Amino acid sequence: MKAQRINALIVFILFLVPNVNFGQAPDLGAASSFALFTANGAFNNVGATSVIGDVGTNAGVFNAFPPGTVDGQIHVTNSTSGLAATAVLAAYNDLEGRTGGTVISTTLEGQSLTPGLYDLGAAASLNGNLTLNGGGDPNALFIIQIDGALLIGASITSTVTLVNSASLCNVYWQIGGQFDLGAGSVFRGTAVVKDAINLLEGSSLLGRGLSTAGAITLNNNIVNFVPAAAGAITGTTTVCQGQAGVSYSVPVIAEAASYSWTLPTGATGTSSTNSITVNYGVSAVSGTITVKGNNSCGGDGTASTLAITVNPLPLTSAIYHQ
């Protein structure tokens, strides 16, 4: 009887303990600030590639920026790249070592995946669209294990699409071979790769590309893991002190999980979406409204600004009787 109680207690405890084998994102550590990094390989770019985030190699020739632009730091064989190399290898081993994933087809187009751990077991391809459905949970975690190379867009421009609150910050790909992103194709998530990373002309990597041992080759690409720049804010630009219920909005910002608004002094309103209702107090003054997109990857998008003129309340005239 005592043994049965102990066994029942063990089962109960195991039921309560979270499944850390899948349920936690890998720790990128010193590599988290990098948009593109290889622990051991050359780094090359041609064309007007634009990168937001750090870039670098810990052991290899660096031939990039220029051409192209990088909004971040460049690290080549220094203490920072050394720490990043260790972190990338640890993240790769973590992702590769997770077990119990759902086995799915290595032909990814046409599939729609819900949060979870997926095991492809061999090299994979995507020629079309792959949908990752967050089910309304912005913290939904996707881990996709590929035991070989990943080739995207070999025959047709292809896209990894996120829907229902899925965030690129919570999508991780463990690729046990070379990663090729075809011309004009769009990839989302952090790719932790065992071999080379090749971004063909005009393709976009919205996330990170991190290699344990392989060259990185770029060609007129867009690479970032922060939200896109905010578009133009629409709404009334001339208001009066005491005016309430004034609405403003901005087009939906790609890859933004939430929005941050700032208002002129004396104005109030709160929102984490792409629209806001503002009340101008009786002491409000002219200023600017700004908005930017946020996500959990560690950076904010470029803000948009709208100038606001706040007219004062009219003076009350006094009438004197003699």
Residues 175 and 280 grouped into a single domain? no
Of 182, 198, 224, which marks where a domain is finished?
224
Of 224, 242, 262, which marks where a domain is finished?
224
Residue 67 preceded by cis peptide, ω within 30 = yes
Residues 173 and 303 grouped into a single domain? no
Pick the range with the lowest mean pLDDT from 171-180, 238-247, 309-318.
309-318
| 34 CB-side CA count, 13 A | 28
| Amino acid at position 298, single letter | G
> Which pTM was predicted?
0.83
% of the chain at pLDDT higher than 90: 84
Residues 114 and 205 grouped into a single domain? yes
Q: The domain that contains 285 carries what CATH number?
A: 2.60.40.10
Residues 82 and 178 grouped into a single domain? yes
Residues 241 and 146 grouped into a single domain? no
% of the chain at pLDDT higher than 70: 91
For 308-319, what is the mean pLDDT?
Answer: 78
Contacts of 88 (CB under 8 A, 6+ apart): 28, 31, 37, 39, 192, 210, 211, 212
Residues 197 and 83 grouped into a single domain? yes
Closest CA to 179 of 226, 228, 142, 212: 212
Domain hosting 305: range is: 234-311
Q: What is the DSSP string of 278-304?
A: EEE-TT---EEEEEEEE-TTS-BPPPE
Whether 96 is covered by a domain: the verdict is yes
pLDDT in tens, 241-273: 999 999 999 999 988 889 999 999 999 999 999
Residues 112 and 73 grouped into a single domain? yes
Q: What is the pLDDT of residue 23?
A: 73
For 119-130, what is the mean pLDDT?
Answer: 97
Of 224, 248, 266, which marks where a domain is finished?
224
